[in-house]
Amino acid sequence: MKYFQLNRQANRQTQLQNFWQSMEQTQRRRKLCIVPIPSKEDVHAPITGHKFAFSALTSTVFSILFGMASSLASGTAQAQEPSPPVNVKPLKNKSATNQSSQETIPEHALSKELLFKLLSSDIAIQRGEWGSAFVTLLGVAQETRDPRIAKKAAEVAMGAQQINEALAAVKLWRDISPDSFEASQYYLSLMVVKADFNEIEKHFNLQLKTASKSEIPPLLHQAQRLLARMQDKKTAFGTLEKIVNGTSSSVDTHIVLSRGAFASGDAERSAAEAKIALALQPSSELAILSLAQALDKEQSFQAVVDFLKKNPESREVRLALATMLVEGRQLDAARQEFELILKDFETNQLPTSRIIFTLGSIELELNHSDKAEVYLQRYLKEADEDQDKNSAYINLAQVELQRKNTKAADAWLAKVENGDDKNTVWFNIQMRRALLMASDQRYTEARQFLQSVKANSEAEEVLLLQTETQVMKAAGQQLEAFIVLQAALSDFPQSPDLLYDFAMLAENLKRYPEMELALKQLIAVSPENPFAYNALGYSYADRNTQLDEANTLLKRAVELNPNDPYILDSLAWLRFRQKDYQQAEEILRRCLQMRRDPEIEIHLAEVLWAQEKREEAKLLLIDARKKDPSNELLKSTLDRLEIKLP
């Protein structure tokens, strides 16, 4: 997850000489962190292509000697980098734990020969010699009929990606302990990996025949979740239908079919099944959430709103609504919903830290610095040890940036833990710290600091170059920065970030042909990048040239990112140039509902001024001045329109 973006996906930069404006434009592009908060593992994950966690091996010998119920490792320690582990994750519940612990353990003497075999298998595992370990363990399991050793053999094979060997061990395990729930789950998971639909159907039909009425719904939901993993979605759903058809119709059967149909790509069938479930039980949270998933955004939103009117105490559905509002950039409404959720959680003594963090993030996006700080400080006090605090430190630094308190911001960023030498989040924070030094006019110190930071990938090398040129621009060395970027593009000619930065700097230096060439190359390199189309389209609109091409570019940008207020602002500015003042005003008012940004206010003010709505225009300009007194666009607009503010 990115917590800061260093002007790489901005929609435009109109005055790069003003460093604070550049910093504020960076703030605009931040991604809003919403529930769930990343774990420490997510934040500290190194960028090595893949991340695997292999648990420390528990000695089989000690497990047998002392009869300890140990959790055996699912992977093997290997000298070389391992390949992705088999995705076999048996579901665990109370019955699984109980039945596993009640397996019959045979009584057998721990002979020297047996001890030697167990020790040698453990040593082989530690050396990465899975084949030797597997053969030894499987042989011991056959000899002793000990289910624990059969399980161990299965897990060694799984860790080595050997499905057939794992299946052989699991079959032995089931033969030794035919009533073992855990062995049954391992077998089922392997059938999913092998895509053996017949065996999966047979397994669940057998389970359902002996299940009590209360056990049937969980089994059906488990079947749906397992089959959703399959590559052949059509066959998977057909198998699910066969399993469900063997049971009586109920709310759960229709919810299961709804989710299964959605997983197979049949949204129409999914919605139909969810509606039947809702008709059977109008207060079912699972039914409405399944329906919302199947409908389009507008219908989904309305369905959830209507459900909450009748079921205001529905916690999960209110969370879904709040998340929809965040995704739709309706942050004021989202905040109100999360405040209701927080009260509900507090009343029912549920963990509130994630909701508190989300509220802090929303307030930050709304530029409500004081409220954001209160929530984020509260989160730091209430967060559990396993919850990430780095994201809160970063957001608190952003709060201080909104207040233009660079020293306090840097103090918060200094608290962010590295965790790993190849931590990309930590690397990005160092880039931001260099920019903070530059904002205090410590340009030489900032560049020296950047030289001390090691890049571990091409992406980080590019980011270092971007940050260095930002420092140079802040120091007024724009031509030098232009030359550095030009040279950097020789090394990284396909880099979207460098192409974008080069184009924006070329525009600032009024080198429009080079700017246009770079943005067209960016569109060729990254045809799905809405900001490339937006930057070129806005530049044409702002210079009042090639408006037809600008229209094509900005329409494409809106198609790719329909809810970005700055892309919509660019489209509104084009409509203003085309003298379609009414549509320009409508779009800009919508933008302001998404984000009260000074530049959007300035653009709307000019549109209103052109329509003789002078008083409202002045109020917007006054508000923009309060937020950003040194804004260059504000100064140029006031001068051009000869407006004097009180």
CATH number at residue 68: 1.25.40
Query: What is the four-CA torsion angle of 205, 209, 212, 215, rounded to 10 degrees?
Result: -10
- Identify whether 254 is part of a domain: no
Residue 40: predicted pLDDT = 32
Domain count across the chain: 1
Q: How many C-beta atoms surround the C-beta of residue 489 within 10 A?
A: 18
pLDDT per position as a tens digit, 319-353: 999 989 988 889 999 999 999 989 988 888 888 88
Is residue 36 left, alpha or beta, with left meaning phi > 0 and alpha meaning psi from -120 to 50? beta
Q: Which of 511, 475, 533 is nearest to 22 (CA)?
A: 475
State pTM to two decimals. 0.54
Residue 359: predicted pLDDT = 93
- Identify whether 32 is part of a domain: no
Residue 454: predicted pLDDT = 87
What sign does the dihedral 32-34-36-39 (CA atoms) show? positive
| CA terminus-to-terminus distance, the chain | 44
Low-confidence ranges of the chain (pLDDT < 50): 1-101
- Identify whether 378 is part of a domain: no
- Identify whether 142 is part of a domain: yes
- Identify whether 87 is part of a domain: yes
Residue 539: predicted pLDDT = 96
- Identify whether 155 is part of a domain: yes
- Residue 83's domain comprises 60-194
- Identify whether 113 is part of a domain: yes
- Identify whether 160 is part of a domain: yes
Residue 73: predicted pLDDT = 26
Residue 618: predicted pLDDT = 96
CB 454 within 8 A of CB 474: no
311 Cβ contact partners less than 8 Å away, ≥ 6 residues apart: 283, 285, 317
141 Cβ contact partners less than 8 Å away, ≥ 6 residues apart: 147, 149, 150, 152, 153, 169, 172, 173, 176
Residue 173: predicted pLDDT = 83
